[in-house]
């Protein structure tokens, strides 16, 4: 019975999507052509941070909008991030109200989204969740182009992308897409590459800005830094708390992924987005977003972060949220950074 309900729910959501104004299936003529094979999809390693972090950031008055961030290492900054950032709209399965540029303009500097093969062209990476019939936000190349344009216009900002690889796409396909969008010029390469960069060795935001390598990229599965050295393996660097949470108190900060991992030596992601059960399927809880995304109070970003800080003796590095324009996500970010 549960499987029948889930099937009916997915069918209902697909029908809702088809009824959305302006929706149309991608046309073959509009599909992104695959970039020509390149001899290399890697970049030169980003220079190691200077011995004087204060001096290295002196030329930059602000970093991500705050002077206080300039001399902080990347691994010592808390970012409130946009979960499923590309899925924008008012349908039940959509996670955000405002588009990528608006998210960046309001202060979001950590963008998570999901990728799959296009249903029409296996060589094209599309932004889809579970099924491209259910959620399709266009091509990864177009998404990266939007982020690149924003970085072009905002030279004192560091942005992070966390991508999922639901179809186990080859890492070189990701590299080709980054290269064809020309955003790879901003991509940070650890000085330790292809080996892991330790938490203590991350550059400051000021160092990243002064080097011009202001885009940090992670992929959940399939990264290989010997082939594409700027797309980093998420679970080498992070662990995550449970997701698809339906309890508004967010009671749990245990390590959910990678299974059996140690917190030592890893940054961590708190999945602070609330779902609700809709006919057997979990969808974003839009109605309670303002409370979920509050800086303080029961079930807030601050309340869950405090639980995690007590468990791991340090603040989270990332807190992912739906509907980032609701509540007080930027106030929460400032508080978590002690500002």
Which among 70, 48, 40, 72 has a CA at the least distance from the CA of 58?
70
Give pairs for 302-307: CB < 8 Å, separation 24+. 302/332, 302/335, 302/336, 303/249, 303/250, 304/250, 304/253, 304/270, 304/272, 305/78, 305/270, 305/272, 305/332, 305/336, 307/250, 307/251, 307/253
* Degrees, nearest 5: CA angle 128-196-226: 70
Residues paired with residue 239 on neighbouring β-strands, in sequence order: 268
Active site amino acids: 83, 129
Cα Dmax for the chain:
64
What is d(CA 32, CA 117) in angstroms, rounded to the nearest whole number? 12
Tell me how far apart the alpha carbons of residues 95 and 289 are, in angstroms, rounded to a whole number. Answer: 10
């Amino acid at each position: 019975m549960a499987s029948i309900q889930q099937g009916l729910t997915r069918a209902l959501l697909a029908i809702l999507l088809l009824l959305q104004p302006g929706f149309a299936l991608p046309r073959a003529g509009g599909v992104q052509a695959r970039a020509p094979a390149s001899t290399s999809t890697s970049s030169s390693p980003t220079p190691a941070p200077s011995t004087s972090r204060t001096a290295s950031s002196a030329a930059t008055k602000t970093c991500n909008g705050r002077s206080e961030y300039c001399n902080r290492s990347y691994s010592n900054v808390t970012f409130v991030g946009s979960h499923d950032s590309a899925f924008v709209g008012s349908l039940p399965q959509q996670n955000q109200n405002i588009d990528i540029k608006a998210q960046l303009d309001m202060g979001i500097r950590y963008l998570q989204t999901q990728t799959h093969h296009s249903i029409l062209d296996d060589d094209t990476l599309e932004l889809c969740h579970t099924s491209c019939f259910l959620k399709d936000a266009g091509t990864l190349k177009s998404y990266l182009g939007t982020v690149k344009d924003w970085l072009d216009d905002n030279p004192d900002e560091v942005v992070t992308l966390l991508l999922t690889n639901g179809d186990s796409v080859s890492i070189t396909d990701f590299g080709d897409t980054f290269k064809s969008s020309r955003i790879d010029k901003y991509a940070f390469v650890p000085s330790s590459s292809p080996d892991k960069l330790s938490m203590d060795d991350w550059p400051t935001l000021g160092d990243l800005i002064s080097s011009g390598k202001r885009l940090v990229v992670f992929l959940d599965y399939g990264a290989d830094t010997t082939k594409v050295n700027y797309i980093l393996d998420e679970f080498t660097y992070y662990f995550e708390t449970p997701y698809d949470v339906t309890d508004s108190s967010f009671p749990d900060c245990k390590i959910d992924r990678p299974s059996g991992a140690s917190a030592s030596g890893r940054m961590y992601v708190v999945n602070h987005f609330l779902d609700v059960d809709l006919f057997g399927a979990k969808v974003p809880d839009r109605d309670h977003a303002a409370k979920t995304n509050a800086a303080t109070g029961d079930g807030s970003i601050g309340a869950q972060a405090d639980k995690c800080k007590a468990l791991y003796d340090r603040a989270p590095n990332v807190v992912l949220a739906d509907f980032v324009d609701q509540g007080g996500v930027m106030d929460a970010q400032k508080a978590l950074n002690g500002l």
